Structure 1
Amino acid sequence: MPAFDRRLLDYETALDTCLSAVTESLPAETVGLEKSLGRVLRRSVESAISVPPFDKSTMDGYAVKSADVAGALDTAPVALEVIDEIPAGRVCGKILRSGQAARIMTGAAVPQGADAVIKLENTAPAGSEQVHILSGVEENNYIIYKGQDLLPGSRVAEAGATVTPSLLGLLANCGTPNVSVSRKPAIGIISTGSELTAPGTPLAEGRIYDVNSYLLYGLCIEAGGDVAMLGTVEDKSDALLALLNRHTDADILILSGGVSVGDYDIVHETLQRAGVEEIFWRVKVKPGKPLFFGRRGSTLVFGLPGNPISSANNFYLFVLPVIHKLLGRSAWGLKTGHATVCNSMIFRPGRRKFLRAQLRQGPEQGVWIFPEQRSGVFGPMVDAEVLVEVSEAAKMVREGDPVKIYYL
C-alpha cells in the first residue's frame, strides 16, 4: 500500500485506511462456554432443545385446574384432593383430574391435566390429603410452557456478537457446551521516553511515571486483546530498534510517545529502520494529530502520541475499530449517539475535535463538555463518559446545539 503525503488526513479517510488494512478476521477457535465471556462469536448459535424443556412452574404452590377453583374465596374455599408432591427435578407420573391438586415447587414440571399454579399464600392445609384453595386463578397462571423461551432451531446468537454475561446464561440454558470464537489478537505495547519511570520506583527530578503502558494495556484488554507490555525505552533509536526486532509476531503493535517532529521524537525514523511500511502519518484531529499507521509483514503498527489523552483518543478512534474488525465483530468502534450541549465553549478551528464530556439527563439527553481539554491533563479522563465530536470549521458550540457523541 503506497505511503500518503505529509498533508493531514481527515478523520474518515484515516479510519477507512486503517480498516482497509484488515483484509480478513483472525482465525476461529473453539472454547468451552466458561471461557467464552467477552469473546466474539464466529458462528451463529441455535438452540438444540426447547427452552424450557417442559411446562414449568414459576411459583411454590399447587398445580390445579383453573375451572375447579373459579370463585374460590377466603370465606368460601374450594377443597381439592392432593395427589402428589412435585419437587424440582422430578416428574409427576399421574394425570391431574377435576377435583385434584398437586403440591409443586418452583422450577418443577407441571403435571398433565393442570393448567394453572396457585401460589402457596392463597391456600390453606386441610389435612394430609387435602388443600383449601382461597382464591380463583387464571388459566396459565405461574406456568412457563415448553418452548415458550426458545424452540429447537431458534437463533440464540448471531455471528459477530460479543458474549455477555446474559448471553452466556442463555447459551447455557439451551445446553451449548462449546462455541466458535475469534482468536484474541496478540497486541504488544511499547512506551518511549527517557523521562518514563515504572510505577513503584522513586521519581528522579524531571521524570514522570509511565501512564500509557498501563492505560493502553487496560484499553486493549477491554477490547478483547491478548496483551503484552513489551517495555519502555529511552529516546534512542538503536534501543527502540533492538526492542522492535525482538518482537515480530504480534497482530498489532502499539507505540506511544516520540511520534511527532521534535528533536527527540525518534519513533518515526526508527520504524522505517525496522522495516515498517508507512501507510500514513498525522491526522486532522485534536487531540491526537501525530498518529502513525503502518505495517510490517502481517503486523499492523500504530504510533500514538505521548500525551495520555491524545493516546487514548487515537486508540478509541482508530485502534479499537481495527481490533473489532480483526475479531469479526458485527460493529466496529465506539457506539455513537446524539445529544444537546449543556455548556458553551469556544475553539480554534482547523481540526476535528473529540472532547471529553459527561452525560446529563433531562427532557433530552445532554452533555457537559469539560472545560479542561488539554491533552496533557489526565485527571478529567477518569470522569469522562463520552467524546463529543466538533467539526473542523467550528469556532464554538453553544448551549442547546446538537452534537454527535461517542460512548466510552
Structure 2
Amino acid sequence: MNLEFYEAREALLNLVKPQEMSTTLPLENVLGRVCAKPIICTKNLPSYDNAALDGFAFSYKENLDKLKIVATIYAGDVIEPSLGENECYKIMTGAKVPQDADTILAFEDALSYNDSEVVFPKHIKKGNAFRFKGEEQKKGAVLIQKGVKLNPAHIAMLSAQGITHVSVQTTPRIVIASTGDELKEPWEDSSEDEIYNCNAYAIEALLNNYGFKTDYAGVIPDNLEKSKEFIGKLCNYDILITSGGISMGEADFVKAGLDAHNFKMAFHGINLKPGRPTMVGVMGKTLVISLPGNPMAAYLNAFLLVVPALLKSLGTNLSFLPTITASNETVFRCKGGRSELVLGFYENGKFQVTRDNKYGSGMLTPLLESNALFISTTDTTLVNTGEPLDIILLP
C-alpha cells in the first residue's frame, strides 16, 4: 500500500539521525554550515557609547539655547570628559562619546552653527542618536543558537565579535548513483537509442545549492551480481541516493543489490504524481533514498524528500521547506485520489499554473518555466481562480 506524501516524508525523517560529530572551521568557510554549539557574545555591541550620526554631543537639559563647541571627536578618538557649562562637542558617526555627554543633535537639526558655537532648536529628546554600550548585544548573551544555519548576516556578527573559527556540524557523506545501461554521461557520444544521464547531475546541483557536497558513483549495472558488488562499495556512506530501476516491471537489480547488504525497507511507493515508485530504507548505517527515473519526478522528489532529510541530519530546525500563500490565477484540474505536484510561476502574490497542469514526468522544460510548486490533496480535482494556495518556492 502506498503512503500518502506527508506520511512518506514523516517516515523518511524518522529514519534520519542528526550528525553527532562536529568540526572547527575558519570563519571564511562556515557560510551555509550549521552551528554545533551556541555562540556566546564576547564583546559588548557596541563596545562603547557612540554617536549614531554626525552632530553635536552634549549633556541634556531643558531649554538649551546656544552651546560653545570645545572639541571635535572623530571615529577612533578617545577624549577625556571636558565639558563646562553650555558647552558641547562636535562629533562624527561612530565616534566614542565622552561620559559627560548623553545626547546627540544632528547637524541638520541645528538652527545654525559655525566652527565655535551651535544654536539649538526648542524640542530635543534626551538620548537622541546616542548608542549605548551593549545596547545591541551584551557580553555573555547567546548570539547564535546551536542548530542555526549560518548566513551572511551571521558572518557579519561573528566578524564583529572577532571570532575567527566556528564549531559546525559535520556534513553527511552522500553518494549518488543512477541506473540504466542506456545512460550516457554528458561528455560521451549518444546515439538515438541512448539518453544522457541528467538525474545525477540535477540532484547533485540541487544538493550543492543547499550546501551539501556529494560523490557520484556512476551507473548501477543492469546485472544482479555486478549490482551487488557495485552497491557493496557504497556502504560506507551516510546517505545513498539512486534514481531509476525501482518501478513495477523494471529489472529489480537496485532492490536486489540493496537486499544483498541487509537493506531494510521503510516504504516503497507514494500516492503521488510524479513520485509513485519512490523507495526508502536503511542498509546497515546507510540511509537509502531511491527516486524515480523520470527526470522531473527525480528532481521534484529530491527537492521535497531528500533536502529536508539532509537538513535534519545537520540538527537544524529547518527540516521542512517553508510555504507561502498565493492566489491562484487560472483554473486547473487535478485527477484526484492522489496528491499531485503542480508546477507554476509565482509573482506578485499570484500562482500561475504551468501548462494547465498538463505535462509528463519525463519532461524538463516545465521546470524551466516554473519557480513554484503546489502539492494537491487527494480530494482535490478542481482549483478555481482566486483560490488561496500554500505553495513552495523552487530553488
TM-score, scaled relative to structure 1: 0.86
Distance in 1, Cα, partners of 2:294 & 2:69: 77
Structure 1 residue aligned with 2:385: 399
Q: Which whole-Å CA distance do the structure 2 matches of 1:142 and 1:69 have between them? A: 19
Q: What's the secondary structure of 2:100's corresponding residue?
A: coil
Aligned to 2:33: 39
Aligned counterpart in structure 2 of residue 81 of structure 1, from 69, 72, 77: 69
**Residue 88 of structure 2: aligned partner:** 101
- Alpha-carbon distance change, 383 to 44 in structure 1, aligned in 2, over 3 angstroms: farther
SS in 1 for 2:318: coil
Partner of 1:12: 6
How has the CA–CA distance of structure 1 residues 120 and 232 changed in structure 2, closer, same or farther, with 3 Å as cutoff? Answer: farther
**Where does 1:137-176 land on structure 2 (aligned, <5 Å)?**
138-176=125-163
- Counterpart for residue 227 of structure 1: 214
The DSSP-based 3-state class of the residue aligned with 2:75 is: coil
Q: CA deviation at 1:334?
A: 0.8
Aligned to 1:343: 330
Q: 1:276 to 1:33 in 2, by over 3 A?
A: same
CA contact 1:9–1:283 (8 Å) conserved in 2? yes
- Which residue of structure 1 lines up, in the alignment, with residue 23 of structure 2? 29
Match in the other structure for 1:366: 350
Aligned mates of 2:234, 2:281 — CA distance in 1: 16
Aligned residues: 389
Specify which of 56, 59, 69 is matched with residue 62 of structure 1.
56
**Contact 1:249–1:299 (Cα < 8 Å) also in 2:** yes
Task: Report the alpha carbon displacement of residue 339 of structure 1 after superposing the two structures with TM.
Answer: 3.2
CA distance in 2, matches of 1:374, 1:213: 19
Distance 1:383 1:174 in 2: 44
Q: Is the 8 A contact 1:97 1:113 kept in 2?
A: no
Question: Taking every aligned residue pair, what percent have the same amino acid on both sides?
Answer: 28
Partner of 1:113: 100
Q: 5+ unaligned residues in a row in structure 2: which ranges? A: none
Per-residue CA distance 1:104-147 (angstroms, 9 max, x = gap) = 33222112222233445556543xxx244575654323321111
SS of 2:326's equivalent in the other structure is strand
Asked if structure 2 preserves the Cα contact closer than 8 Å seen for 1:338 and 1:402, the reply is: yes
Contact 1:386 1:405 in 2 (8 A): yes
Is 1:248 aligned to 2:257, yes or no?
no
1:42-53 matched pairs, under 5 angstroms: 42-53=36-47
Specify whether residues 119 and 295 from structure 1 end up closer, same or farther in structure 2 by C-alpha distance, changes over 3 A only: same
Aligned-residue offset at 1:190: 1.0
Q: For residues 98 and 211 of structure 1, do their structure 2 counterparts lie closer, same or farther at Cα, with a shift above 3 Å needed?
A: farther
| Structure 1 pair 184–133 and aligned structure 2 pair: CA distance change class (3 A) | farther
Q: Return 5+ residue gaps in structure 1 as ranges.
A: 1-6, 72-77
Q: In the alignment, which residue of structure 2 is the partner of 1:288?
A: 275
Corresponding residue SS for 1:394? coil
Q: What is the distance in 1 between the residues matched to 2:323 and 2:20?
A: 25
Q: Which residue of 1 aligns with 2:366?
A: 380
In structure 1, distance between residues paired with 2:210 and 2:343: 20
- Structure 1 residue identity aligned to 2:367: M
Aligned-residue offset at 1:19:
1.6
Letter in 2 for 1:35: N
For the 8 Å contact 2:27–2:164, the answer to whether it is kept is yes
Per-residue deviation at 1:150?
A: 1.2
Pair 133,215 (structure 1): closer, same or farther in 2 beyond 3 Å: farther
Cα RMSD over matched residues? Answer: 2.6
By how many angstroms is 1:66 displaced? 4.9
**Structure 2 CA distance for partners of 1:267 and 1:111, relative to 1, 3 Å:** same
2: CA distance, partners of 1:384 / 1:241: 39
Change (3 A) 1:81 1:9: closer
Instruction: Quote the offset at 1:188 in angstroms.
Output: 0.5
Query: Would the aligned equivalents of 2:296 and 2:367 in 1 still touch at CA under 8 Å?
Result: yes
Return the alpha-carbon distance in structure 1 between the equivalents of residues 328 and 215 of structure 2.
39
Structure 2 Cα separation of the partners of residues 19 and 79 of structure 1 = 67
TM-score w.r.t. length of structure 2: 0.88
